[in-house]
Amino acid sequence: VSPRIVYSYDFEGTTAAPYSNYLEDRQALNLGIDGTLNNNFKLGLSYSNFFGGHVNNKNSDRDFASFSASYSF
């Protein structure tokens, strides 16, 4: 079992349009956990939360959760 925490923060400044890949005060948090059973069955669960960046952050309402499973033989 391995946990995962990823946090990103655009702390100052904004990229000029039309790119907008850097937006002041935009933040994202990803929490997840992965596990392996008998080296052939894998499970993963994660949640992503996007916030900050004021009204210019088009991702602020796109939080999501995901689940994955795989089996190798």
- Displacement of CA 71 from its chain's centroid (Å): 24
User: Residues 5-39: pLDDT tens digits?
Assistant: 999 998 887 777 776 677 888 899 999 999 999 99
The SS3 of residue 72 is coil
Q: Give the integer Cα–Cα distance in Å for 28 and 51.
A: 6
Q: What pLDDT sits at residue 15?
A: 78
